[in-house]
Chain A
Amino acid sequence: MLRGRAFKFGDGISTDHIIPGRYTHLRSNLTELARHVLEDVDPAFVSRVREGDFIVAGSNFGLGSSREHAPLVIKMAGVRAILAKSAARIFFRNAINLGLPVLICDTDVINDGDELEIDLSAGVVKDLTSGQKLTFGKMPQVMLRILDEGGLIPYIKKHGDFKL
């Protein structure tokens, strides 16, 4: 069970919004890189977000580049799950590979700052502020297993190969 606050974002948040190309020189200095997460959309985000919070976004979250640094800095900021109406393909897979769940649901009913409780195995999000309950879409088995192990690298370390 995950519990935290919702940070609301709009549609079409790209990987360039999450971690702009102008910070490429910091990619091997992740702590420094993470200080700039989402800064072009909400400069205050990084100072306000706390361990356990959630990003709640509109459609096509994470479109653009394949940079795994994007979900990585989001995770480093303390975010424990991303909820979105839809997510871009590479970002979705990258986030799961880092053990960061991306949950597809109708995020319109969640407001900025709402307290959420997420039951990953039951597939349910409870908005404790509004009392609303949401369900999110299932992901393929292989992704669930990767998520269970905390990401692709720990998964491969343990199993040595993919198991469908």
Chain B
Amino acid sequence: MGETLAEKILSAKSGNNIRAGDIVIASVDLVFIQDTTGPLAVRQFRESGLKKLARPEKTAVFIDHAVPSPTHTLANDHLVLRRFASEAGAIMSEMGEGVCHQLVAESLARPGDIIVASDSHTVTAGGLGAFATGMGSSDVAVAMGLGRTWFRVPESILAEVGGRFQKGVSAKDLILHVIGLIGADGATYKALEFGGDGIKEISMSQRFTVANMAVEAGAKVGLFPADDITRDYLAAQGRKKDYQPVSPDADAIYERTIPIDLGALEPTVAKPHTVDNVALARELKGVKIQQVFIGTCTNGRLDDLEIAASILKGKKRHPGTRLIVAPASRQVLLTALEKGYIQTLVEAGAAVLPPGCGPCLGLHQGALGDGEACLSTSNRNFRGRMGNPKSFVYLGSPATAAATALAGEITDPREAM
């Protein structure tokens, strides 16, 4: 009987012929922590009695959330992580390098890998065919020490994608549409797999956007097969040898199949305060927005800045709308500088932050005032997410964000192109 992508990867790493519903122990290819959940993971690791990292060269520590450090308490948390990385021999990613998930995608994740990390958006690496999932600090601490963890093999939901995006529509609209369709718990405990001819129309960067938000439907992983697009991406990153094809069997059994026609999608927005509260951008015309944020592990990549720059070129942000841009990584920032996107965005009135999470989690920078609304390219809009429970967060694509920054109200980007 055929295997889904999730079953295939877990089978290979647990040495068993397994099925959805089984509980397995699987070896882990990469473990990482970041600066908001890492200090607790370090504490639990020390507490657990596990003395050494199973594979220091496959363990990474990222300082990306609170960067540059806004308080001395967080600066002290950063010290804990730096010391741990140097004592344990782990890979250390210093502040300014970028968001962990982007850096993992650029340099560490490989198709067929199992990746666990103390951050829910670890699912991002599913875009290149890695079984990558978020866990808490205790689980990650143990995975760092043992080099393995236990999983319940998830059932898979297949989003069978056909057609191609219209102009102005992108992967963000696709995943918001899917979450709106199945709900914020529509894939809880499950794998959300993407297949069909239409995935050939979805670039690597866009696949990361889709996989990144699988967790907003409750999914354990969001998975794309590893194909020619994956191979070309890895080659462009100088990692040709990290490629191996990974695909589900043709007779794999899915719990449910959701057909999606990319051509029928329109710019989509999630309204406050849940990600599944979706509407079309054009239906929200007239909703005033005081701040636009373009960045994060969801949409802070080069193509995201490119589309935003193309819409904002030669224009100015609306005077009532602030614009914040945070590239997802140093590589993204450098290339965007080279290509002139940063110049264009700054000329249009953007404040550019260093690579990192920026205002995404409401910890510092870009906090909203009472009653204010932000249109963000990030992945979550829970009440208080951007630092103030009396504010409102809308989620949309970089194109929608740029068009909104120009108009001062939520705008369908097709009007601005």
Residues of B within 8 A of A12 (CB): 184, 274
- C-beta contact mask, A51-77 vs B, less than 8 Å → 1, else 0? 000000001100111111101100000
**Most B C-beta atoms less than 10 A away, residue of A12, A21, A63:** A21
A12 to chain B, nearest CB (A): 6
Contact A28 B73 (CB under 8 A): yes
Pick from A17, A60, A90, A97: contact of B120, CB below 8 A. A90
> Does any Cβ of A come within 8 Å of B89's Cβ?
no
Contact A63 B23 (CB under 8 A): no
- Knowing A12-B274, A153-B44 touch, does A40 contact B150 (C-beta < 8 A)? no
B203 to chain A, nearest CB (A): 27
Q: Restricting to A23-72, which residues have a CB under 8 Å from any CB of B? A: 24-29, 40, 59-60, 63-69, 71-72
Complex-state Cα separation, A44 to B296, whole angstroms: 34
> Does any Cβ of A come within 8 Å of B356's Cβ?
no
Nearest CB to that of B363 among chain A residues?
A24
B197 to chain A, nearest CB (A): 30
Contact B385 A24 (CB under 8 A): no
Contact B137 A157 (CB under 8 A): no
A160 to chain B, nearest CB (A): 8
Complex-state Cα separation, A93 to B71, whole angstroms: 31
Pick from B39, B141, B189: contact of A27, CB below 8 A. B39
> Does any Cβ of A come within 8 Å of B152's Cβ?
yes
Binds A, one of B47-55, B250-258, B321-329: B47-55
Contact B23 A142 (CB under 8 A): yes
Pick from B40, B387, B388: contact of A68, CB below 8 A. B40
- C-beta contact mask, B7-42 vs A, less than 8 Å → 1, else 0? 000000000000000011100000000001101100
Nearest CB to that of B274 among chain A residues?
A12
B312 to chain A, nearest CB (A): 28
Residues of A within 8 A of B150 (CB): 142, 162, 164
Contact A152 B73 (CB under 8 A): no
Binds A, one of B301-309, B338-346, B376-384, B394-402: B376-384
Residues of B within 8 A of A27 (CB): 36, 39-40, 77
> Does any Cβ of A come within 8 Å of B367's Cβ?
yes
Q: Restricting to B128-175, which residues have a CB under 8 Å from any CB of A? A: 134-139, 141-142, 145-146, 148-150, 152
Contact B136 A164 (CB under 8 A): no
A58 to chain B, nearest CB (A): 11
Residues of A within 8 A of B380 (CB): 16, 64
Complex-state Cα separation, A156 to B50, whole angstroms: 8
Contact A28 B77 (CB under 8 A): yes
Residues of A within 8 A of B382 (CB): 14, 16-17, 64
Contact A156 B139 (CB under 8 A): no
A43 to chain B, nearest CB (A): 10
Residues of A within 8 A of B50 (CB): 156
> Does any Cβ of A come within 8 Å of B231's Cβ?
no
Contact B148 A162 (CB under 8 A): yes
Nearest CB to that of A91 among chain B residues?
B136
- Knowing A20-B362, A27-B40, A152-B139 touch, does A66 contact B73 (C-beta < 8 A)? no
Contact B37 A66 (CB under 8 A): yes
Pick from B23, B66, B149: contact of A141, CB below 8 A. B23
Complex-state Cα separation, A111 to B367, whole angstroms: 37
Contact A21 B363 (CB under 8 A): yes
Contact A25 B384 (CB under 8 A): no
Q: A24-B65, A86-B188, A157-B48 are in contact. List 11 more A-B contacts (CB 8 A).
A: A16-B362, A16-B383, A25-B70, A63-B185, A66-B134, A89-B189, A90-B135, A97-B138, A98-B138, A151-B138, A157-B47
Q: 7 A-B residue contacts at CB 8 Å?
A: A16-B382, A21-B362, A25-B73, A29-B73, A59-B185, A66-B118, A69-B37
Closest 4 CB pairs of A and B: A94-B136, A68-B136, A21-B361, A21-B362
